[in-house]
Amino acid sequence: MSGAKKLGLKQRYAHMTRGLDWETTYQPMDKVFPYDRFEGIKIKDWSAWEDPFRLTMDTYWKFQAEKERKLYAVLDSFAQNNGQTGVSDGRYINVLKLFLTGISPEEYQAHRGFAFAGRHLRGVGPRVAAQMQSLDELRHVQTQIHTISHYNKYFDGLSEFRHMHDRVWYLSVPKSFFDDARTAGPFEFMIAIGFAFEYLLTNLLFVPFMSGAAYNGDMSTVTFGFSAQSDESRHMTLGIEVIKFLLEQHPDNLPIVQKWVDKWFWRGHRVLGLVAMMMDYMLPKKVMSWKEAWEIYFTEAGGSLFTDLARYGLKVPKYADVATAEAEHISHQNWAIFYQYTHAAGFHTWMPDAEHLDWLSAKYPDTFDKYYRPRWELWAKLEKEGKRFYNNALPQLCQCCQIPMGYTEPGDPTTIAFRSSTYKDQKYHFCSDGCKDIFDNEPDKFVQAWLPVHQIFQGNCGGATVPDVLAWYRMNVGADNMDYVGSPDEALWNEWHAEKLRKAV
Amino acid sequence: MAQVASITLMLNDDARPIIESILADNTGVRVLNMTGAVKLDRDESIVINRASVEERLGRPWDPQEIHLVLISMAGNLDEDDDQFTLSWRH
């Protein structure tokens, strides 16, 4: 051997990826890539794209295979050892129900969206990165279904997750988010999912929440969560590269990108309200409050990021201040909605016990005792008197985020916020200025929204009564829905617990 | 406000030598312990040196192996055969 030096990582990557792309000759490039012009984004030089991880396909397969081996070893061990009996409390399973019905199907939508971007972006760098992410997302949905299928052997509310996702009222919230992204052009999709969702918001879902799964004894979920999140670091890097690349390519891209950042930040914030509720109300043992998670992952991490992006002229998303102020309220207001509509929800609800109320008071000293504790205490009292409160009216929904109009005015937590716009002689309703702005920018898209309550009234959801609609949802009434107390889940959990105590004697 | 570079790693045997080398090589790093994970924050930048990890691990280590234990990160990434740096400097 001569003394030739081995190539460094950067040089190896350049050689491995060089010449993967070519100018087509049988067909013009604009016909081969028909979707990357209409959004108005201008790209001068696709080769300026950089993948800072410099991950080749070969290395990608090697590491992904290793991650899968580790994950499936844990899942096998969890099942063999009846891990489901060792979680903190039977209530915990309800976060898995919401996760499997509300989030896992979106991993599949992300898979399809990135497959589309990986086909239709003209540059080879982002195409390869989008293809890897597409495969990651498929891996995520598969591992999530595989993990949670074990719980389905014992608990209600999981078996019809795919059917429910396209029908149940609150699941239309994450569904419409991804439908909106997937019907956008490839650049908007990359900003929506790659940047706004993966970079700004996914940490809030996968880091403190998955740590919460570990803290609650759910070894299987934390393992798929962190295994998925190890891909997310790559996705976050793709998201940030997309935004830098677009902003560096042409100054005309800035206003388009800013509008997308504003839109997708707000839409993501609304979807993550479900996670806020999972963290503050549904984890029996809590890791941190939603407000604390927001401070770490949006205020601090987002602050550092937007300081960096300011050199391109990009600003902090519009209404970021409103979203930060809402971190004091959103989990409580969402839990109130689900408590009132527990008869139509595919997971169980409950009123917090005394210890949990005190934890909430400590975490939300400026708001909880003033605005929410009295309501929870009243509802708990009504429950005791046999007068448990149900809301039997169908709620008005926001035309944009599709959440029932239960959120309050900025700075006034006792007044419900209502906004509206008139478009082609029809009036449309919104929960916030953020949602109204999104509609006003794209009314022709959002007038087509499939709003669950409107669809019920139009007769498209199985019938005119609540039992008709629940049957159409394939909800097993009395098992999937209603309060945890009195549910078959609770009976099973108590039986396991009693057995443990008997054996300990 | 200083820009914070950050890395979150799984808390397991594969990650421990990496966590220890970060603590040794980055003065003023702040540690947030979560169940199953650890978040390491530092103003401006965080570096992981291959040599430093290898010293603790007792075998050759490729910085790309970090993908097996990486949960999240913040900062612009610069990676080569000898180091993995997250930084807000340009």
Dihedral sign computed on CA atoms, order A6, A7, A12, A16 = negative
> What was the pLDDT predicted at A347?
97
Residue B1 has pLDDT above 80, yes or no: no
B59-67 average pLDDT score: 93
Q: Which helix (H) or strand (E) holds B48?
A: strand B45-49
B35: closest chain A residue by CA: A211
Q: How far apart are CA A64 and CA A227, in angstroms?
A: 9
What is the distance in angstroms between the CA of the first residue and the CA of the last residue of chain A? 72
CATH code for the domain in which residue B33 is found: 3.90.56.10
Chain A residues near residue B1 by CB distance under 8 angstroms: 303, 307
Cβ atoms of residues A121 and A49 within 8 Å: no
> What was the pLDDT predicted at A232?
85
- Residue by residue, pLDDT tens for chain A (505 residues) are 445 667 787 787 777 777 778 889 999 999 999 999 999 999 999 988 877 777 888 888 999 999 999 899 999 999 999 999 999 999 999 999 999 999 999 999 999 999 999 999 998 888 888 999 999 999 999 999 999 999 999 999 999 999 999 999 999 999 999 999 999 999 999 999 988 888 777 888 888 888 889 899 998 888 888 888 888 888 888 888 899 999 999 999 999 999 999 999 999 999 999 999 999 999 999 989 999 999 999 999 899 999 999 999 999 999 999 999 999 999 999 999 999 999 999 999 999 999 999 999 999 999 999 999 999 999 999 999 999 999 999 999 999 999 999 999 999 999 999 999 999 999 999 999 999 999 999 999 999 999 999 999 999 999 989 999 999 999 999 999 999 999 999 999 999 999 988 877 6
Q: Is B10 on the interface with A (CB under 8 A)?
A: yes
Q: How far apart are CA A469 and CA B24, in angstroms?
A: 60
> What was the pLDDT predicted at A21?
80
> What was the pLDDT predicted at A4?
63
Domains of chain A: 23-47+54-504 (1.10.620.20)
> What was the pLDDT predicted at A30?
93
B71–A206 C-beta distance less than 8 A: yes
Q: How far apart are CA A45 and CA B77, in angstroms?
A: 22
DSSP H stretches of helix in A153-171: 161-165
Q: How far apart are CA A144 and CA A153, in angstroms?
A: 15
Q: Which helix (H) or strand (E) holds A263?
A: helix A253-277
Q: Which helix (H) or strand (E) holds A17?
A: helix A9-17
> What was the pLDDT predicted at A328?
97
> What was the pLDDT predicted at A1?
45
Nearest to A8 among B69, B80, B88 (CB): B80
> What was the pLDDT predicted at A251?
96
A207–B37 C-beta distance less than 8 A: yes
- The pTM of the full predicted model, rounded to 2 decimals, is 0.94
Nearest to B72 among A53, A203, A304 (CB): A203
What phi, psi does A294 have (nearest 5°)?
-60, -40
Nearest to B68 among A8, A63, A214 (CB): A63
Q: Is B1 on the interface with A (CB under 8 A)?
A: yes
Cβ atoms of residues A182 and A115 within 8 Å: no
A to B CB pairs, distance under 8 Å: 101
The number of folded domains in chain B is 1
Q: Is B15 on the interface with A (CB under 8 A)?
A: no
Q: Which domain holds residue B21?
A: 4-87
| Residue that wins the pLDDT comparison between B78 and A374 | A374
DSSP string, B2-42: PPEEEEEEE-STTTHHHHHHHHHHSTT-EEEEETTEEEEEE
Q: Is B12 on the interface with A (CB under 8 A)?
A: no
CB atoms within 10 A of CB A375: 14
Distance from CA of A301 to the nearest CA of B (A): 7
